[in-house]
Amino acid sequence: MESSQLNNIATTKYTKQHSNFIQYGTAGFRTKANLLEHVMYRMGLLAVLRSKVKKAAIGLMITASHNIESDNGVKLIDPAGEMLEASWEQIATTLANVDDSELSSTVQKILQEQNVDMSINATVITGRDTRESGSSLLQAAIAGIEALNGTVNNFGIVTTPQLHYLVVCINTNGSYGDPTISGYYVKLTEAFKRIRQSEINNQQYVAELSLDAANGVGAIAAKEFQSNLGMALKINIHNDGNGELNHMCGADYVKVQQAPPANFPVKTNDRCVSVDGDADRIIYFYLDENNKFHMMDGDRIATLIAQYFKELLQESNLSFQLGLIQTAYANGGSTNYISNVLQIPVECVSTGIKHLHKKALEFDIGVYFEANGHGTVLFKDTVIQAIKNATTNPQLSATEKSAASKLMNIIDVINQTVGDAFSDMLLVETILHAKGWSIIDWEGSYKDLPNRQLKVKIADKNTITTADAGRRCVTPAGLQEKIDKVVSRYSKGRSFVRPSGTEDVVRVYAECEDENELKQLTIDVALLVYKLAGGVGPEPKLA
């Protein structure tokens, strides 16, 4: 690479304005938006280098998902729609934090160590969520891409799953789907409607739901989905962008607070859905006759999907290895149901979609979900071809071919590239419709253990380190032993702590059999973290 071009990238207006260290974490970089301009520029540079190494288009998404409006972030998307390769996370962190005087030499070092061929063309596909800061941050990223002569394919305001979809479509020359936003909507909704035509509706299922769009990009997507779905599914949209992003609304709020979002009218036993700020998470919920809150989180969604796939595989007489992947946040009730009742293999991995996605790839059909509602289903190419062949196999019965056809249509409803709130919503609605279930019927399949989450602010969240897929605390020394002692006092008690990958806090998870004892268990563990790991501010408490 010519020294003049290296000097050019270092003389940008997007210079480093602060000394805050920022780390590429579970979902890329994420912090206060006013700290990110130089980071965006440098990620534009890195995306070009990554594109040249992979000889394919790379995605660059600007979002802070469920974080507050004043935050923002950026993550790179690899060619198959997956998260950035782990070895490049450290490269990204280094590049984001070097002084301006070292930017050129750092880029030169990446070129050498990664054997980057600068003669190869590079394409970066960009998108952002609805945050006000997104526009200027996107321009900084585009400046970085263009500084290394990369081609920008900008899709503007999109959901995170849409950008993942577009990356895969463009890199597969459209074989996965039409590489346009309209192509995304058409693929998912047409498959959804095809399945509906072959199913007889049951009176327990009503083709209508209420959606909390978190005042984010999900509101835009929901309106487009409604336009494409027509009478197949009515979506009543609330928190549609007129309020503050993620403020007392969105999937993360509903999951953690275990309460309906604000500005969201709820009728008794109505099926309700909440998505997060970039529409990659989904939570179902309802209020019963006593105004009690009931939640169907990622665990519930995963078990519903896995059970339905097992049934269709049995009906079609197809034999594939089906597996379900969870994290430590999975409710003990769901794990017991999957293993002992459904008898489907279940694996537990560290928190973070990249870990679930990787493990799911080991199965013929891998269902993965975090309890927060982020997840999808992966199919091996050989499985898809075998199902397709079964739909026209004259040796199979009409029932077997019908089940295979349902599987083929369901595959088109699913966004396999990443967790997608709207794709998952259509999948859940397909299954509830097929079973003739209300949301109450769905909940009745098994009983969750009461559980709570609490965030604890400490001076340095990295003080907490964990092992065993995040279920055991390694440091600070002695904390896990004290947690074990507290948990032992509660029937079916379980609790773990881990540093958040997206926020500057430590998360505490707790569950036990007695709902009345749960609050005390959660507080007891949170106070241990606060006292032994350097808590700051007021002591933790539950609302």
Beta pairing partners, 475 = 465
**Residue type present at position 403:** A
Q: 63 with 160: CB under 8 angstroms?
A: yes
Q: Do 462 and 473 meet the contact criterion of CB atoms below 8 Å apart?
A: no
3-class DSSP state for residue 433? helix
CA-nearest of 214, 240, 136, 229 to 433 is: 229
Cα separation, 248 vs 244, whole angstroms = 9
Question: Is 478 in a helix, a strand, or coil?
Answer: coil
Tokens of 466: 């964990």
Alpha helix stretches (DSSP H) within 241-380: 251-257, 298-316, 332-336, 353-360
Beta pairing class for 234-238 and 451-456: unpaired
First to last CA, the chain: 57
Query: In which residue are the tokens 């002692």 written?
Result: 485
- Active site residue: 3, 4, 65, 500, which one? 65
Tokens 């990238």 appear where? Answer: 9
Q: Which of 234, 370, 355 is nearest to 299 (CA)?
A: 370
Residue 535, strand partner residues: 458
| 215 and 244 Cβ atoms separated by less than 8 Å | yes
Whole-angstrom CA distances from 201 to 47, 431, 468 are 47, 11, 44
Catalytic annotation present for 65: yes
Give the whole-angstrom CA distance, residue 317 versus residue 319: 7
> Where is 482: in which H helix or E strand?
helix 479-487
**Secondary structure string (H, E, C) spanning 133-185:** CHHHHHHHHHHHHHHCCCEEEEEEECCHHHHHHHHHHHHCCCCCCCCCHHHHH
- The catalytic residue positions are 65
